[in-house]
A and B are shown apart, each in its own frame.
Chain A
Amino acid sequence: MKLREIAHSRTGDKGNISNISLIVYNMDDYELMKDQITALKVKEWFQNIAKGEVIRYELPSLGALNFVLTNALGGGVTRSLSLDRHGKSLSSFLLEMDLKS
């Protein structure tokens, strides 16, 4: 099962730092998501993009995790060579991760 089946996501950017929220559709799935989608796994998933540290914040009251990916936007929106300079599409890539149910 892909993460996309149980959660939705949006990316934000500040300078060279990207943040990707991950929000379960059904609050019952929060623990499953929290157990499996660790900061380490996300860092590995984005290894070609996020060159720095990945930090995870937990928001149980929203059924959400917030990942902060440092050095992840090719220098940031002002100087990135990427087609997607804001990294807006990174959320879609995170949702492609596999999940064991």
Chain B
Amino acid sequence: MKKIRIGGGAGYSGDRIEPAIEIMKKGDLDYIIFECLAERTIALAQQQKLADPDKGFNELLEYRMEKVLPICTEKKIKVITNMGAANPVSAARLVKDIAIRLGITNLKIAAVLGDDIFSDIDDYNDFNTLEYGNKLSEIKGEIISANVYLGAEGIQQALQNGADIVITGRVTDPSLVIGPLLYEFEWEIDDYDILGKATLAGHLLECGAQVTGGYFADPGYKDVPDLWNVGFPIGEVYENGDIIITKLAGTGGKVTTGTVKEQILYEIHDPSNYMTPDVNADFSQVSVKEIEPDKVLITGATGREKSGYYKTSIGYKDCYIVEGEISYGGSGALEKAILAGEIVEKRIQYTGLSIQELKVDYIGVNSLFKIHIPDLHGYNDVRLRVAGRTTLKEDGIQMGNEVEALYTNGPAGGGGVRINVNEIVSIASILIPAENIKTKINYEEV
């Protein structure tokens, strides 16, 4: 039976590159995916693009591609990534420039477009947000981005047109894998059963090392060897949709039924109805079986017809978050931290600062005195953290000052103040009909 080997080359925007290079060199891969776009990343990228129309893609794109392009050309591995973020067109152009610089020829780079609907956002003012249930027009902050979660069809089409590198903006993470599978196996776009299996393959690979023992270790309960050198996953997908997850021998980490089960349920709500733009996938009857060490077979995913709606993330300028921290040590550290927190709260009331929400935390083990942890008893080391939300930046700065003023006005021995005031871009989501969205593809060639 035909099978395709796909590597998980990144599980988040800043992930390590060495394990990706390793599986490209030794993993006998047909494809490698780099999943680099979290929910809010694209809104921040959109801000960069506003400041500079040539920017707004993943900041590690150049670093990664310089390392990846020579190997994928030599080994005939195709690259699928959402590193285009808010600007796949510029990202593809940059990849072309890198290829020219490296003397690489016969490379076709596709930029999948159509997710950015910011210019049409006013058409959706009456749509209700999933988060708050109110109309989009009732969002208070300035809207700065609107991106649809596209499915796999653009990626599939780019591959059909001979692309070696496919760069997208916002697509669902599993689509990075579903696209090449649709293309390779020529599955029908309405074969929902097989799309459910492909979605699970994508879901298992999209978070990189999370399925190979990264994010798994719990010393004494779930020991993982050589976690510092954890290998990235390789998914072997068969034409019937069966999946084997494995990793390279000699790398750290492990692939077991346990690591795979944790990833199957990661960020899943109803396992029988995982909705994507490609399919409503059903993972509720999935079975996993270790067939060899570090080799797990996954079967039994299915799917039903998709909803016909695209989830759309809308980024808007929401508020400011201020965080102020200070440390107290020795006997009575917790009491001092509690007193300091109360002082800040009273000062906020007294000065009339407008703080919409306030959170006071007591953190710590041994940051101050370098005591061996087994010798610790009680609270010898407490870091007070006061976090607040403000509409006006000035209120945030003043609240930060109230934490800093504890230096001379607060309890004894307070040290190490740090203040941060950050503007927060938040996300609201709406569902828009699939027929409103047109996918387009730009190509660059060298």
Contacts and interface: CB of A to CB of B under 8 A. Distances in A.
Interface of A: 4, 8-10, 12-17, 19, 21, 23, 25, 55, 57, 59, 61-64, 66, 68, 74-79, 81-83
B424 A21 contact: no
Nearest to B359: A81
Interface stretch (B155-163, B283-291, B434-442): B283-291
B100 to A, nearest CB: 38
Interface in B98-127: none
B265 A79 contact: no
A14 B269 contact: yes
Contacts of A57: 269-272, 284
Interface range for B: 35 or more
Contacts of B268: 12, 19, 66
B186 interface: no
Nearest to A8: B222
B266 A81 contact: no
Given A15-B427, A62-B288, A66-B268, A79 B389 contact: yes
A36 B215 CA distance: 27
Nearest to A9: B262
Contact of B262 (A13, A21, A76): A21
B301 to A, nearest CB: 11
A78 B424 contact: yes
A4 B221 contact: yes
Interface in B355-390: 357-359, 361, 363, 385, 387-389
A61 B285 contact: yes
Interface of B: 39-40, 130-131, 215, 218, 221-222, 258, 261-262, 264-272, 284-288, 300, 318-319, 321, 357-359, 361, 363, 385, 387-389, 424-427, 429
Given A4-B221, A77-B40, A66 B429 contact: no
Contacts of A78: 39-40, 318, 424-427
In the A-B complex, list the 5 residue pairs whose CB atoms are closest, starting with the nearest: A12-B267, A21-B265, A81-B387, A81-B359, A10-B262
Contact of B286 (A13, A16, A19, A61): A61
Contacts of A55: 269
Given A10-B265, A75-B426, A83-B385, 10 more contacts: A23-B258, A23-B262, A61-B286, A64-B265, A66-B271, A78-B424, A78-B427, A81-B387, A82-B387, A83-B361
Contacts of A66: 265, 268-269, 271
